[in-house]
Amino acid sequence: MVNTWAGWRRRRWWGERATAAVPEVQAVGDVAAEVAVRVTVQGALRSLTARQRAVLVLRVFDDLSEAQVAQVLDCAVGTVNATMAHAMARLREDPRLAGLMDRETQ
CA distance 8 to 76: 69
- Which pTM was predicted? 0.64
Which residues touch 97 (CB under 8 Å, ≥6 apart)? 40, 41, 44, 91
pLDDT tens by residue, 1-40? 788 777 766 666 656 677 788 777 666 777 888 888 899 9
pLDDT tens by residue, 48-60? 999 999 999 999 9
The pLDDT of residue 32 is 83
Given a contact cutoff of 8 angstroms between Cβ atoms, the answer to whether 59 and 69 are in contact is yes
Mean pLDDT, the chain, integer: 84
Given a contact cutoff of 8 angstroms between Cβ atoms, the answer to whether 45 and 55 are in contact is no
Given a contact cutoff of 8 angstroms between Cβ atoms, the answer to whether 78 and 36 are in contact is no
